[in-house]
Amino acid sequence: MQKIAIIGAGAFGFAMAKIIGDKHSDKEIFIFDIQKDYINHIAETRKHPVFHTKTKLSNNIVASHLLSETVENADMVLLAISSVYVRGVINNIKPMLKQGVILLNIAKGLEQKSNLIISEVIKSELKNFKLKYYICSLSGGMIASEVTKLNPLCAEVACEKIAIAKKVSNFIENKNLRLDVTTDIVGVELAGALKNVIAIGAGIFDGLRFGESSKSAFISFASRDAQKLAFAMGAKKKTFESGSQAWFGDLMTTCFGMSRNRAFGEMIGKTGDVTKAIDTMLDQKITVEGFRTAKVAYNIAKRKKLDLPFITMIYKVLYKKMPVQKFVHDFIGNC
């Protein structure tokens, strides 16, 4: 791979540009974002104006305002964008994609209107695409700030073709980052999406100051719901075992670390005000994927007639104004 395109210069897109650029100084690496202030600042200083402000990108990173300049002739297109934007971006870049391109998704969410996982969204947009392409997903316990600090981290790359997953893994991983590979792209994407929903519930317990024991109990029970839903959607059981970085590693990171979904839940636990928590995150230019995913997970479970009491509770807090005190009461009642 000689040219890499990164679409999205947010916290994680910038972090991925950092580790890929540092490893591959001889490659063309472009990063694009619709936020012009991000691109201008990166182009001028090689630093981000909002996230990881002390981190500097390597000199071979090109910050571009042009989607065509970024994507054309790219061997791999890394989609570092919120799940809500994936369909539109794929539609826009479709004419620019080359034969054999790898589309690497790092969004951890589900599409709200269609209830599809991200790889299925991409496939649906490329339904009549004439050239060969490969879809991969990267997921695991990787908080963006810890990626830029080059902390020792682990995650997984999933692709229906294991050789492509290995190719992506070998290209990205470094001495501080280990990437396992799997063909279970459905399981990896659902693991990344559903753990965000659980993290919101975990954050509510933090906001209510019930302590780690109460939060851990909730995570344990809510994990059953997530697994039941994932298996009903075609995920492999191995992906949801304790040794899985896409599931267990990411679940622990998101529920106990400084993650945006847990922080969002904590705000709700403290104030009981979902709207205020959403507005606070928007002011900080932070996307909370678990908010949308909770509704999608609830709708899928309802359609499949699955009893998922703990995911249902989170959905009701977020969309039906369930008081956080009742959330805790119902949790105990469903244990």
Delimit the domains of the chain by residue range. 3-183, 187-334
Query: Residue 331: what pLDDT?
Result: 87
In whole angstroms, give the CA distance from residue 3 to residue 73. Answer: 7
CB 268 within 8 A of CB 324: yes
Query: Residue 332: what pLDDT?
Result: 86
Which uninterrupted H or E stretch holds 310? helix 309-319
Known catalytic residues are 195
Structure tokens of 181?
């590979």
**In 3-state terms, what secondary structure has residue 308?**
coil
In whole angstroms, give the CA distance from residue 111 to residue 296. Answer: 7
Summarised one tens digit per residue, pLDDT across range 270-284 is: 999 999 999 999 998
CATH architecture label of 187-334: Orthogonal Bundle (1.10)
Query: Residue 61: what pLDDT?
Result: 97
Ramachandran class of 273: left when φ > 0, alpha when ψ lies in -120 to 50, beta otherwise: beta
Give 3: exposed, middle or buried? Use CB within 10 Å, 0-12, 13-18, 19+.
middle
Summarised one tens digit per residue, pLDDT across range 281-321 is: 999 888 899 999 999 999 999 999 999 999 999 999 999 99
Query: Residue 22: what pLDDT?
Result: 96
Structure tokens of 258?
């400084």
Buried b / exposed e over 203-229, threshold 16 CB at 10 Å, is bbbbbbeeeeebbeebbebbbebbbbb
Most distant pair of Cα atoms in the chain: their distance: 58
Q: Looking at domain 3-183, does it have CATH number 3.40.50.720?
A: yes
Residue spans of the chain under pLDDT 50: none
CB 90 within 8 A of CB 122: yes
